[in-house]
Structure 1
Amino acid sequence: MTLQRRILILVCAAALLAAVGALAVVRASSRADEKNQARAGGPRITRGEVSLTPGDGGRRIVFRNMAWGPHRDELATVPAGEPEGPRTASGVTCLRFHSAAGTGVCLQADKGGVQESYRAVVLDARLKEVSAHPLAGIPTRARVSPGGHLAAWTVFVGGDSYAGTNFSTRTSVLDLRTGRYDASLEDFTIRKDGKTYRNADVNFWGVTFTADERGFYATLATGGKTYLVRGDLAERTVTTLRENLECPSLSPDGTRLVFKKRVEGAPAEAPWRLYALDLATMRETPLAEERSVDDQVVWTDDKTVVYSLPGDFGADLYAVPADGSGAPARLMDSALAPAFLG
């Protein structure tokens, strides 16, 4: 054996040992993170299969896990009846997420390039990628229609908070049946006060779909004000209905919206309070949550909504009755962007 060949074998062996050692360190670190998390009182999290199929394994919550450790930012699941129980993590990471009828939409960071970018990924019931679409900015809202055939998402393309005025958004809608992709709701015809309206400062965010999967509600901002709009995907129109409504979320029975409303006297950085709107009477009812909520709520059923508030690890989830009664209650620690399935 030549000296050159001996050196080559030695180098390869050293590289293999280094790789094995690095893998052992990563595994040990992951186990240590999980043990430290358990000792700190956090939820127990293990890797496993996560399904978006309604009724698969009973009624469940799928959400972005915010608990610190190797599974942070992954989609995870728990039984709906045990929200603080052990979590099963999927390995799929999302910044924003929503799901219905076996379809998921995951807004995630795309780390493949030199600069960080973002994309919207449509997922099937087993969390396999169906399609992906580049995003123009930072993900902030995501919704899937009740029948699972439509997906919508909103990104910030300027600024980073709805609380101020220096921001711009872009909201897109994808029809999974036809493949039609509306890259921006700003291309829709706006009807305001009975007339066609155009303005360069128009922004949309916070889509929530109707059960017929043709209509939707959303927020329109223009002229320093926000409006609730009703949209028609077939006609490509939106019509203003009411002022001072943001991030509407339609109840499963289609009769009410819960939204965030700016209230007089609130701090500029925390200006909102949750309200419910009866669509038949247009009567507003304040919910029992008195803290400022910067989120688009999710309905657990026709009586209760869930939303996020800042927590030790980024966000915690709370629940409150949608009729103004009761009191808010913490639902889950270290969680964000839930979907209730089954």
Structure 2
Amino acid sequence: MTLSLSRRLLVLAVAVLLLGGLAAALVVRAADRADRPRAGGPEIAAGGVTLTRQGGLAFLNSGQGPHRGALASVPADAPQSARTASDLDCQRFYAAAGTGVCLRSSPGALAQDNKALIVDADLRTVRSLPLAGTPSRARVSPSGRFAAWTVFVSGESYGSAFFSTRTAILDTRTGKLESSLEEFAVSMDGRDYRAQDVNFWGVTFSKDDDTFYATLATAGQTHLVRGSISRRTVTTLARNVECPSLSPDETRIAYKKRVRAGASLWREHVMDLGTLREHALAEKRSVDDQAAWLDDRTLAYALPTDGAADSTDLWTVPADGTGAPRLLTPGASSPSRLG
């Protein structure tokens, strides 16, 4: 039997309504899932976060949900306990001595929309500066006086064949900004060095509020450099060192070392600054991060979450090369030990 035109239209209308209802239900279900933490993950709720909390651990929450990207804190001795989330959202973050640096970037945003926020212990913004590119690394000196950040101005990965970075250092007391370390004088192997392809990234500070360490890349090589803010100079110390992190006792540098030429594969190492001898750590997975020292014996770093390309988990490993990697807390990045 042939359906009349009116009946055909009725059947079509009912089908459209049913499909529309199904689509709406799927959207609501997906949104509901996005608003909940990952199954089995720590609970998280809005609350007050302070950078002077004794025995605290701060990090960016990367788990799915309404607090994704928010700076959160937990007790350092219970890192997988319920999290307190602030209303400060960042792509990269670091804090020391009650001063924080928050690097912000919106997907598809214009360069002038990328910002570095200097925040006080209660996360109030005390200064906002434009970034020249996409956030990559951030650090604050142990005294809280200096903040540093690195951005990509072309390329989006340290494993890319072609990329360019810009690294700045801000004196939070005087407001003086060194907008690019490329303006500092370079000494390599005892001689002045100048080249068009010089790039810096991954600053880490000493307690003296002058000395810093960073990565210098030029002529296809990466170098660990020691720098002076007051003299505006850097001196090369060793090769194949990226994203250095100075230990609390200032005797060692943790860093990622490229273990295969031409590949984005790095192995975490620690170098003794007195002898420049190095040893590999127990973490054998490729770590593309600037590790943070939780204390003189332990390093923390981010690795991609299994099965979730847009999330990372924080792991720890002993700094002496012994032991084994251990999950610190899931759905997190940019750790800072508080207090």
Q: Which amino acid aligns with 1:124?
A: D
Structure 1, residues 183-202: CA drift from partner, whole Å, max 9, x if none?
Answer: 00000001112111111100
Q: Per-residue deviation at 1:32?
A: 4.7
Whole-Å Cα distance in 2 between the matches of residues 239 and 328 of structure 1? 33
1:315 aligned to which of 312, 317, 336:
312
Residue identity over aligned pairs, in percent, reads 53
State whether structure 2 residue 48 is matched by structure 1 residue 49.
yes
State whether structure 2 residue 289 is matched by structure 1 residue 295.
yes
For residues 1-342 of structure 1, what are the structure 2 equivalents within 5 Å? Answer: 32=32, 36-37=36-37, 40-53=39-52, 56=53, 58-109=54-105, 117-264=113-260, 268-311=262-305, 312=308, 313-342=310-339
Q: Which amino acid aligns with 1:148?
A: G
Structure 1, residues 13-65: CA drift from partner, whole Å, max 9, x if none?
Answer: xxxxxxxxxxxxxxx99x95587437x22221110000001xx3x31111100
Q: Which amino acid aligns with 1:135?
A: L
Give me the TM-score of the superposition, normalised by structure 2. Answer: 0.87
Q: Which amino acid aligns with 1:136?
A: A
Whole-Å Cα distance in 2 between the matches of residues 277 and 322 of structure 1? 10
2:168 match: secondary structure: strand
2:186 match: secondary structure: strand
Q: Per-residue deviation at 1:181?
A: 0.2
- Partner residue of 2:14? none
2:311 match: secondary structure: coil
Whether contact under 8 Å (2:313, 2:332) holds in the other structure is yes
Whether contact under 8 Å (1:109, 1:116) holds in the other structure is no
Which consecutive residues of structure 2, in runs of 5 or more, have no partner in the other structure?
A: 1-27
Alignment CA distance shift 1:34-1:261 (3 Å): closer
Which consecutive residues of structure 1, in runs of 5 or more, have no partner in the other structure?
A: 1-27
Alignment CA distance shift 1:271-1:116 (3 Å): same
1:310 match: secondary structure: strand
Whole-Å Cα distance in 1 between the matches of residues 110 and 157 of structure 2? 26
Q: Which amino acid aligns with 1:37?
A: P
Q: Which moved more, 1:105-114 or 1:244-253?
A: 105-114
Runs of 4+ in 1 over 6 A off after TM superposition: 111-116
Alignment CA distance shift 1:36-1:174 (3 Å): closer
Q: Which amino acid aligns with 2:146?
A: L
Pairwise CA RMSD:
2.1
Q: Which moved more, 1:58-67 or 1:202-211?
A: 58-67
Whole-Å Cα distance in 1 between the matches of residues 135 and 235 of structure 2? 25
Whole-Å Cα distance in 2 between the matches of residues 116 and 187 of structure 1? 22
Q: Per-residue deviation at 1:116?
A: 7.6
Instruction: Report how many aligned residue pairs link the two structures.
Output: 309
Whether contact under 8 Å (1:110, 1:116) holds in the other structure is no
Q: Per-residue deviation at 1:149?
A: 0.3
Alignment CA distance shift 1:41-1:116 (3 Å): farther
Whole-Å Cα distance in 2 between the matches of residues 296 and 252 of structure 1? 15
Q: Per-residue deviation at 1:341?
A: 0.6
Give me the TM-score of the superposition, normalised by structure 1. Answer: 0.86
Q: Which amino acid aligns with 1:272?
A: W
2:114 match: secondary structure: strand
Whether contact under 8 Å (2:213, 2:224) holds in the other structure is yes
Alignment CA distance shift 1:232-1:35 (3 Å): closer
